[in-house]
Structure 1
Amino acid sequence: MRYFIQFSYFGKLYHGWQKQPNAITVQQVLDEALSTLLRRPIETVGAGRTDTGVHAKQMFAHFEAETIKKQANLVYRLNALLPEAIAVGQIFEVSDNAHARFDAVQRTYEYWVVQEKNPFYSDHAHYIKHPLDVQRMNEGAAVLFEYKDFECFSKSNTDVKTYLCTIKKAVWEVKSDKLVFTITADRFLRNMVRAIVGTLLEVGHGKRTVVDVKRIINSKDRSQAGTSVPAKGLYLTSVRYPDEILEKHG
């Protein structure tokens, strides 16, 4: 039977989601915990990959297993076994052809910036001391809706077949004591959000203009865009699926 598992993690201690040789990842830790409790080898398939140090408030994966009669109990036992930085929210049965990665229709990320030194955000947000023009940054963000090809914001030497993404939301907002960039799209390229944020911060600092953002995107050249911001400020906050994928789940 196929199950979806919904979980979250704080990424500081991990080399991203996806398993890697000679590096500890969230997928490795989760698979080992599931395998221990279900007493058989379990390999999860995630909704996507997050890079080293990136966090996830909501992440999904699927795995195959024999019938799990007490799913809530398995969640409880997993959380007791997993390290503090990883927490499972729920496990539920889905149809046999449901796929955590390929069936996801929308993903949302947040990037957190703080403008005053704050020890409580040292591992949670990117500290920038110089003033930022948020209005100009939002004008730059609005340019993203005019395009589909974002090769300029993709990590170099990636093996993707297409650089096309449909961005549905991109906005900077002041939320309490931090500045938050929220971006939603059907898919994201590797390093895309961090490169976009780095570029828009240069707009806010007056180093780039809105016209520059258009020129960068049209160039399809990663070297033209801004420097990628640190991973510690990036959060995957939501992954959405069609209703029929989750129809077995209450």
Structure 2
Amino acid sequence: MRATGTARRGFALLLVMILVAVGVVLGVSYLSVASLKVRVSENFQSLQRARYLAESGLEHAKYLLRYSPERLDGTPGNPLGPYYVDNSADRYYISATPDGSVPGKYTLTATAVVGGVQRSSSVTVQRSPGAQIEIEQGVLVGGGFVWLPWSLTLKGDFHANGFLLNMARIEGDASATTGLWDPWHRISGDTEGRAETVETPRLKVTQYTKYELNGVKCKATKFKGTHLTRNDPLADGGAIT
């Protein structure tokens, strides 16, 4: 009888140990699966963030190509960047590859790095040169808010009695009285945002309505239409030829 009781107690102990072992295995398996799900979720979030960050990089490259193409000199082997966002280590790089057979055609590439995830996006664009304006002298503007477009090249100094937002290429010094912002650093000379006011000549339009051309005295006439034709009077019966 004693042997039988001892055997039963030994069998019960063995059964308990088996159940504990099975519980431990199931618990470890559950924790492993849960940890794997967390890692998969984190990787998916990083992949999505890298995708959106790469698309943002493409928009950055498009902006540079449109407004300041000379600054977009990064190549796939040596891209521009890194550009960081959100005060984090997440970053992106941008580059442009010109198409040698089609002028103005580029392949823009942006590569984003988020944690250990890297993702690239590319797009092919055609850049139109647009209208280019070139002024080979200095310019003085009376006042107010002054914006110079990217298509303008000014070969001389520029001064504004007001605030200057510059996107143009200025080959000289630039100054303004109430502030100056040159975000793409396209001013080759010195800049001054708190300069003294420069008096501008007080001219009247009426001073230019009468003039002399090849010894003939002329007088300008007012024109209120939207289109000029060959018979529109310009100066004492003159017409467009």
Q: Give the TM-score, by structure 2 length.
A: 0.20
- Name the structure where strand makes up a greater proportion of residues: 2
TM-score after normalising by structure 1: 0.19
> Which of the pair has more CA radius of gyration?
2
